[in-house]
Amino acid sequence: MDPYKELAALLDLRIQGHTKQSGSGMPGELGTMTATGLKLDTFKHEIKDYLIADWLVKIYLPAFSLVGTATSPVKDTGEDLPGASTSQLTRYDFSKREIDDVRLELKPGLKPGDRVLAVPVNNGQEAVIMAKVVI
């Protein structure tokens, strides 16, 4: 057999092995939030120090309308200034819009009992919560 073909076959076999390992090395697991940490379904110990994925997304808002009132004048905080008055019910129309770099913050929405998708890292010593899972 041609030695170059043997070398190419060996390299191909090794690359395939590494590719399979890298894809299967980070399986996602379901877990449950506890009052003090994260309990993965396949790991008997609670993970107290877990990480949470940080997502920057682009939001696509369709055109929509809201009905409400307007109060004027107000402070930047939304608190009424002296002499402020409130309008009658008014419809506010918003055009279709795309907004870049919106950060989704998952942590405040996680409560004990919530199901999550997590990826174990550092040989299972830590886990990264990727998403809350709902039915």
What are the phi and psi torsion angles at 123 (to 5°)?
55, 35
Alpha helices in 49-133 (DSSP H): none
For the chain, the domains span 55-103
Mean pLDDT of the 10-28 span: 60
What values do phi and psi take at 77, rounded to 5? -80, -10
Which pTM value belongs to this model?
0.61
Which pLDDT tens digit goes with each residue over 95-119?
A: 999 999 999 888 888 999 999 999 9
pLDDT digits (tens, 9 = 90+) for 67-96: 999 999 999 998 999 988 999 999 999 999
